[in-house]
Chains A and B, each alone.
Chain A
Amino acid sequence: MRPLALVVVPLLACLGLVLPVIRARVTVFLIGVAIVTSAVAALEAVVPFDQPLLDHLVRVDATSRLFLAVINPIFLGVSVYVWNRVATTPALRDGMVRFTGFALVFLAASNAVLIANHLMVVWIALEVTALTAAALIVRAGVRSSYQASLRYLLFSSVGLGFVLLGILCLTRGMEATGQTPAFFIDELPALAKGEAGPWRELGVALMILGLGTKLGLAPMYSWLPEAYDEAPPAVTALLAAVQFNCALVMLFRIVHVYRPGSEGLITGILVGLGIISMAISTVSIIATRNIKRLIAYASINHAGVIAIGLGVGKSASYGLMLYVISNAFIKAILFLTAGKIKAHYRTKDTRQISGLVKDLPYSGVFLMVGTFALLGFPPFGSFVGELLILSALVSSHQLLVFAAFCALITMSFVATGRTIFPMIWGQPREQNDWPRQTFLSAAPKIGFLVALLVLGIYIPPVINNLIQQVATSLEGR
């Protein structure tokens, strides 16, 4: 029953918010819940619990274990960040019970996406993450945040609507071949054997398009920069590092099941969406002067790289996994750092911020290291990941895609550096006497940074084994 704790504990904790004693220490309570779920996730990674639960609705496989071990510690880091922000900014205390309630339901639903063994349950859990995230994006009294939240909800509804439509098309496909429709994920590979008919192809295409919307892939990406920009930084980190990976895990499962029968379709859609997303995001990175939007466009760029790696499959898969996991920690570091910077300078305009290394040393260093990792510098996992994806593109003779990939990544590299490096190393515009940053305020980002370095230098055998298992399932051989 251990995996169920990942869903049940946050939900029970949410009910506990009615108690005054908990409401008085709500940020500490949030950290406590995150510690429990992180510990259970770590235990799952080390000592797997292989038994199916609840009539097969719950089953923890290698993909679940790996991503549970990524999203729960990130949620813990965000909780510590929130605790520190509230401790240093008393004005934030008012909305904390509401924030904690939604964040706990979001965590429970995210964990449910990862451990569920039924496509419809995964879909429902993803819908719950979208509904709670929509509420979290809103900042009281700020009209633009309501607009961004509404846009996010509309795109999520449509994207997940396409996923549901895809599931219904798969049902039709099964009925057309005389099979009884069933959506238990571990049974789908057996049902997906044989020639893919038009219903199955349509279903797979719709599901990829719908999940692509959740990942911020073109053509339905426009919600992402707006939502990431308007949401409080802690919520942006949850969207970018937790929810992104939940949608990605569902996409992994679809690709794993249906690649053998629909290889050309899946590769074509994913590589096509990936290249278009990279092109659009590169132009946007060049144009923007808003630090949060710049990181948001870089996220779209990364989603494009991930789509290409997933589309190519084969030897790109291991690199893809390194890239995906590194990406989660990079985005958590960068969005939390952007939040810190905005809280100090009261602006997101990159031209108004200069000399961070002298002015806010912790934030300056985190922005610098996060940017290096974002751009794929060694020794970070993103470097190895990108290299392996490029190598797989060459070995699968996709040379045009390789050329476009290299050109776009170089342009986004130059554009990002041109905007961010003056913020880090430029001369401070005015002498500011900021309050000294404490170690605790930097602790979550230090934790993420350590994880990032570990992925690039020495991956513990337990994690490496999980990465290899997931990569093998995605190779499509």
Chain B
Amino acid sequence: MSPLLIALLGVLLVPLFVTTWRTTLFGLALQGFLMAWIAQRINPESASIGDWLTMLDLVVVRGLWAPIALYGALRAQQASERGDVIPPNLLSWTIALGMVLAAFSFADALDVGGGDDQQTLVAVATAAVLLGLLLLATQPGPFSQMVGAIRIENGIALFELGGDHHRQAIGIQIAQIVIVVVTISLFRWYLKALHTIPPAGPGPGQEQPTL
């Protein structure tokens, strides 16, 4: 499993240095697929409804729906090719790499149990959450912030795959998937709306009445 986790770490890092929004979305898709592969390796005899729901969440929702939904919105507004996810300078890159090192140190310090694979999984999940927070903290643009939030959610989903594999009840799993779908749909809605509404709002005294 470790090579897959290292590949996932690469997918988390590379889009930070390649400044196009298509690479960012391709990275999100790869995150979903790699996590599904990791889930399959952790539990090769996937047969229960819970296992299939996990695959649905990772492959269809995170791997396909999230990137395609955001891609459609950005393509429709003919967004310029460049789309920084962190400021393109040495300081940002150093902070990003420092966060990955910190994530591995954190996993070392915790009594993870379950061998090296579990420890690497905790480290990569922590790195995903920290890099997501870095995006949220450094980028004011709505797209970058959405990507930051989705990366954090992916990190949590990866962390959920580890441990002794106690699954949530089916109803709770379904509700979690629905929440991710609605959140991403709202992100798409905001991207579209913020593109169509002019920046200058109504002046004082011209606003429509509100409740």
Please report A residues at the B interface, Cβ cutoff 8 Å: 82, 85-86, 89, 91-92, 99, 120-121, 124, 127-128, 131, 134-135, 139-144, 146-147, 149-150, 153-154, 157-158, 161, 164-165, 168, 171-172, 175-176, 180-181, 197-199, 202, 232-235, 339, 343, 346-347
* Beyond A142-B201, A150-B187, A181-B166, 9 additional pairs, beta carbon < 8 A: A89-B209, A127-B179, A131-B182, A142-B197, A146-B197, A150-B194, A153-B186, A197-B111, A198-B111
Question: Quick check: B210 and A232 within 8 Å, CB to CB?
Answer: yes
Interface residues of B in 164-185 (CB under 8 A from A): 164, 166, 168, 172, 175-176, 179, 182-183
* CB of B152 closer than 8 Å to a CB of A: yes
Please report B residues at the A interface, Cβ cutoff 8 Å: 110-111, 113, 129, 133, 136, 142, 145-146, 148-149, 152-153, 156, 159-160, 162-164, 166, 168, 172, 175-176, 179, 182-183, 186-187, 190, 193-194, 197-199, 201-202, 204-205, 207-211
Can you identify 29 A-B contacts, CB atoms within 8 angstroms? A85-B209, A89-B209, A127-B179, A131-B182, A139-B208, A139-B210, A141-B202, A143-B194, A143-B198, A143-B201, A146-B197, A150-B142, A153-B183, A153-B190, A154-B149, A158-B136, A158-B149, A158-B152, A161-B152, A165-B156, A172-B162, A176-B111, A176-B113, A197-B111, A198-B110, A198-B111, A234-B211, A343-B209, A343-B210
* Complex: A363 Cα to B160 Cα, angstroms: 51
Question: Quick check: A124 and B183 within 8 Å, CB to CB?
Answer: no
B168 to chain A: which residues have CB within 8 Å? 120
Question: Quick check: A92 and B153 within 8 Å, CB to CB?
Answer: no
* Complex: A158 Cα to B207 Cα, angstroms: 32
B113 to chain A: which residues have CB within 8 Å? 176
* Complex: A180 Cα to B165 Cα, angstroms: 11
Min CB–CB distance A322 → chain B (angstroms): 30
A99 to chain B: which residues have CB within 8 Å? 211
- Which of B142, B201, B207, B211 is the one whose CB lies under 8 Å from A235? B211
Min CB–CB distance A414 → chain B (angstroms): 29
* Complex: A91 Cα to B176 Cα, angstroms: 38
Min CB–CB distance B76 → chain A (angstroms): 17
Question: Quick check: A154 and B146 within 8 Å, CB to CB?
Answer: yes
Min CB–CB distance A103 → chain B (angstroms): 10
* Complex: A399 Cα to B152 Cα, angstroms: 39
Q: Which partner residue on chain A sits nearest B166 by CB separation?
A: A181
A339 to chain B: which residues have CB within 8 Å? 210-211
* Complex: A171 Cα to B182 Cα, angstroms: 26
* Complex: A198 Cα to B122 Cα, angstroms: 14
B172 to chain A: which residues have CB within 8 Å? 120-121, 124
Question: Quick check: B211 and A85 within 8 Å, CB to CB?
Answer: yes
Question: Quick check: A144 and B211 within 8 Å, CB to CB?
Answer: no
* Complex: A72 Cα to B17 Cα, angstroms: 50
B201 to chain A: which residues have CB within 8 Å? 142-144
A154 to chain B: which residues have CB within 8 Å? 136, 145-146, 148-149
Question: Quick check: A165 and B207 within 8 Å, CB to CB?
Answer: no
Min CB–CB distance A289 → chain B (angstroms): 13
* Complex: A144 Cα to B211 Cα, angstroms: 17
B197 to chain A: which residues have CB within 8 Å? 141-143, 146
* Complex: A136 Cα to B110 Cα, angstroms: 42
Question: Quick check: A346 and B204 within 8 Å, CB to CB?
Answer: yes
A149 to chain B: which residues have CB within 8 Å? 190
* Complex: A146 Cα to B210 Cα, angstroms: 15
Given contacts A139-B210, A175-B164, contact A124 B175 (CB under 8 A): yes
Min CB–CB distance B194 → chain A (angstroms): 6
* Complex: A164 Cα to B176 Cα, angstroms: 10
A121 to chain B: which residues have CB within 8 Å? 172
Question: Quick check: A199 and B194 within 8 Å, CB to CB?
Answer: no
Question: Quick check: B194 and A91 within 8 Å, CB to CB?
Answer: no
Given contacts A141-B197, A165-B156, A198-B111, contact A346 B207 (CB under 8 A): yes
Question: Quick check: B208 and A91 within 8 Å, CB to CB?
Answer: yes
Q: Which partner residue on chain B sits nearest A157 by CB separation?
A: B149
Question: Quick check: B179 and A131 within 8 Å, CB to CB?
Answer: yes
Question: Quick check: A131 and B183 within 8 Å, CB to CB?
Answer: yes
Min CB–CB distance B160 → chain A (angstroms): 6
Given contacts A82-B211, A168-B159, A232-B211, contact A124 B176 (CB under 8 A): yes
Question: Quick check: A157 and B183 within 8 Å, CB to CB?
Answer: yes
A180 to chain B: which residues have CB within 8 Å? 166
Q: Which partner residue on chain A sits nearest B199 by CB separation?
A: A143
Given contacts A120-B168, A146-B197, contact A172 B163 (CB under 8 A): yes
Question: Of residues B149, B162, B198, which shows the largest number of chain A Cβ atoms within 10 Å of its Cβ?
Answer: B149
Question: Quick check: B186 and A165 within 8 Å, CB to CB?
Answer: no
Q: Which partner residue on chain B sits nearest A180 by CB separation?
A: B166
* Complex: A144 Cα to B152 Cα, angstroms: 25
- Which of B145, B159, B204, B210 is the one whose CB lies under 8 Å from A165? B159
* Complex: A129 Cα to B193 Cα, angstroms: 22
A181 to chain B: which residues have CB within 8 Å? 166
Question: Quick check: A147 and B194 within 8 Å, CB to CB?
Answer: yes
* Complex: A307 Cα to B31 Cα, angstroms: 37
Question: Quick check: B210 and A199 within 8 Å, CB to CB?
Answer: no
A176 to chain B: which residues have CB within 8 Å? 111, 113
B148 to chain A: which residues have CB within 8 Å? 154
Question: Quick check: B193 and A233 within 8 Å, CB to CB?
Answer: no
Given contacts A146-B190, A175-B166, contact A347 B204 (CB under 8 A): yes
Min CB–CB distance B177 → chain A (angstroms): 11
Q: Which partner residue on chain B sits nearest A82 by CB separation?
A: B211
A157 to chain B: which residues have CB within 8 Å? 149, 152-153, 183
B207 to chain A: which residues have CB within 8 Å? 142, 346
A139 to chain B: which residues have CB within 8 Å? 208, 210
* Complex: A312 Cα to B45 Cα, angstroms: 49
Given contacts A143-B197, A147-B194, contact A92 B111 (CB under 8 A): no
B129 to chain A: which residues have CB within 8 Å? 161, 165
Question: Quick check: B211 and A92 within 8 Å, CB to CB?
Answer: yes
Min CB–CB distance A372 → chain B (angstroms): 26
